[in-house]
Structure 1
Amino acid sequence: MAEAPQQSDESDLSTFENKTGLAEDMKFLASMPELCDVTFLVGDTREPVCAVKAVLAARSRVFHKMLYQAPSPQRKKEAPPKENKLRLFLKRSSEPLLNLQNAAQQRGFSQQLAPIQEPQSNQHHTLIIEEFEPDVFRQLIEYIHTGCVTLQPRTLLGVMNAADYYGLDELRRACAGFVQCCINVDTVCALLASAERYIQYKCTKSLVQKVLEFVDEHGNEVLNLGSFTLLPQHVVRLILARDELRADEFTKFQAALMWGKKYCDSNPNTPLKDVIGNFLEYIQFHKIPANVLMREVHPLGLVPYSIIMNALAYQADPTSVDPAKLSPNRVRRSGHGRSMSVQSSLDPYGSNTTLSSSGSSEMVSSEGGGIKHSSN
C-alpha cells in the first residue's frame, strides 16, 4: 500500500508581528523612571533622561562599554598575602557560628546563615552627558528603545552626530538622507545655528557644506528671512563675506540692518551704528544704485559719509577711486585665495572653535517639518 505524501508543516504555521505595539510599550518603559535602571543628566540644565541599561548595551557597543565595562586602570588587584590572611581570619571567625548551626540542626531546627552580600551589578546608575542637548539625547534614547524616531531639522544635526558617536549607523545614514530633502529656505537658518554647538564633530562639516551651498544659491531669499536675525554675529559675517553668495549688495545691507536692530533690541545700550559697522566691509556699496544710496542708505546715518561718496564717485568714474577704499576687506582676501576664518564667540566647551570658508563654509539651525525613521 503506497504511503500518502506528507503535507508540508508550513501550512500549520503563522507568523504574527506587532512591531508597533512593541515600540509603544518600549517607549512607555523608557518614560517610567521606576522601570529604568539608568538616568542620564543631559546638557547644561542636567535634564534627566531615563533608560534601560540592557537595552542600551544590546543596541550600542559604546553604551555597553560605558555601562558594563569598568575602565581597566581603576581595577585594583589586592596583594595575595593580604587576601590569604583575610580569608584565614574569616574562616576562623565563622567556625563558632558553624558549630552553633550544626548543633541547632541536631536539635531539629533548620537554621541558615545569611550569605555575605556582594556588590550588585544592577544598581541604578546616574551619568552626566554634556556632549548633546536634552532634546537630542532624548530622541536618541527613544530610537534605541523603540527602533523609531521622528527626525526634524531643529535637532537633526545633533541626532546625526549622536548616532555617529554611539555607533548607530542606521540612524546616522537616515539623518544624512533626510538632510538632502530638509534643506530649504524655511530650515536653512535653523540648521546653521545648531552647527554652532556641534562644529567639532565630523558629521557637522559635511552638513554645513551643503547648507552653505544652499545659502549661496538662494542668497536673496535667505537674507530676507526673519530667522536670519537669530544667527550669531560671526555666522552672519561669514555669510555676507562669501564670494559665492548670490545676493545683491542692497539686500546684504538690509540683512545687516535687520540683524543689527534685532541685536539692539536685546542690547539697548549698544548703538546701532556700532553694530552695523561690523558688517560694512562685506558690502560693496559702489554696486548699489546711486538713487538707492541717497534715498535708502545715506539718510539712516549708519554708513560713514566717506563710503557713500567713494561709491558715488566710482559710479561716475571708476578710475577716480582707489579700489582699496571701496572694499578693503575683499582686496585683502584676494591675496589669500578664497579662504577666510571667523572666530566662534559661542563655543560651549570653552575652547577656540574656528569656522572657515574656503569656497564653502560651516554652520546650522532648524525648524519646520519632520520625517519618521524606523529600524527594521
Structure 2
Amino acid sequence: MSGQVQPTCLWGNLASFAADMRKMINAPEFSDVKFIVGKERKVVYAHRCILAHRCEAFSTMFAQQPLSRDAKGADIPFVVSDVQPDVFLAVIEFLYTNSVMLSSKMALEVLTSAVEYGLDDLQKAAVTYRQTDMKDKCLTFIQSHTKSIVKTQGFHELSDPAMLVILQSDMLTIDEPDLINFVREWAHVNSVVLDKSVPEIAKEVVRELRLFLLTPDELTALEVENKKDNLIPVDKIAEVWKFHALKKSSGIAVHLLRRRKGTRPRDHHKYLNLYHK
C-alpha cells in the first residue's frame, strides 16, 4: 500500500542484556529445574524455557521427564554425572548469553560438551579459542582414549579432514582391524546424512588405513565385509595380498607399514618397517 510505514527494529543495549541474563545463571530464585552435576554432585539451577528453546538436547530431556516431585513435594533433579560442574556451567552460560568465558584448561571439555549437546556455535567458539593448541590437545586426547572415542557420536560426526588427521597418527591406541570397523561405521553414518555412497564418502580416508598390518585371515574377513559396501577399493586390497605373497614392502608408502601404538603384534610384521616394537 502506498505510503505505508515500514516497521523499524530497535536495539537496546546488548551488553546490558547479556549481563542481566548472566545474573540468572545458577540462580535459585524463580528457577524451575535443578541439575546434580559431576562426581562432586554440585547443584545447578536453571530455567526450562531458556534451555529447551536454546538447545534441542535439553528440550528432549525435559520432554522425556516432565515436572515431577518426590514424596516430600520437592522437584526431582536431573543427574548429569559425566561432566565437570564448571564445564556444565560454561554450556549454561552460553545458552543464556550467547557468549562464554573459556580458560585453556576447560576449552577441550567444553568442545566435547558442545558436540554432545549439538551446539554448533559453541563448538566453533571452543575450536577458535587457541585453535592450534586445541588441535594438538584434541589429537593427544584421542590418541590416549582411542577405544572410547571411536564409539562416540562425535567420532561419527567428524569431517573428512579431521578423520584424515586422526588416521595419520602412529599413536592411536587401538588395533587396526577394530579401527577399520569404526571407520566403516563413520562412513555409513555420513553416507546417510550426506546422501552419498559409502565409497564416495570414504574415498580419501581409506587411503590412511594400514591394511598391511592385517594377517591373511583378517584380510579375507575384510574382503567378505567389503563386498557389502565397497568401502575399500579392490586394488588396495590386492596390494596387500601381493605383499603377503612376496614378503616385500618395496613401493609401499612407509607410514602404511608402521604399527600404531595400539597395534597387536603379528608374525608377518617382521617384514614391515615397524614403529612400535
* TM-score, normalisation: structure 2: 0.50
For CA contacts below 8 A with separation 6 or more, give which structure has more relative contact order: 1
- Larger Rg: 1 or 2? 1
The structure in which a higher percent of residues are strand is 1
